[in-house]
Amino acid sequence: MLQNLGGAHLLVIVFIVLLLFGAPKLPGLAKSLGQSMRILKKEVRNDGEATPDSPADPRPDVR
């Protein structure tokens, strides 16, 4: 599907994005997209591990 995407197609897509979002909003859009990707990578990397924020066993130790 993406093999037929050439330079002219990419220019049209960029032009449409500029029309939809406007030039002033694009840096904020790119920043939020980057933050989302960073969070996704972090969550995928820590998928099977327990982090300090989330313990492996959420139940309290009652004896």
Residue 62 domain-assigned (yes or no): no
Residue 23 domain-assigned (yes or no): yes
Q: Which residue type sits at 28? A: G
Residue 53 domain-assigned (yes or no): no
Domain range enclosing 25: 19-44
Residue 7 domain-assigned (yes or no): no
Residue 13 domain-assigned (yes or no): no
Q: Which residue type sits at 4? A: N
Residue 11 domain-assigned (yes or no): no
Residue 3 domain-assigned (yes or no): no
Residue 35 domain-assigned (yes or no): yes
Per-residue pLDDT of the chain (63 residues; tens, 9 = 90+): 567 778 899 899 889 988 888 888 888 888 999 999 999 999 988 876 655 555 555 566 666
Sign of CA dihedral 48, 54, 55, 61: negative
* Structural domains in the chain (count): 1
pTM for the whole thing? 0.46
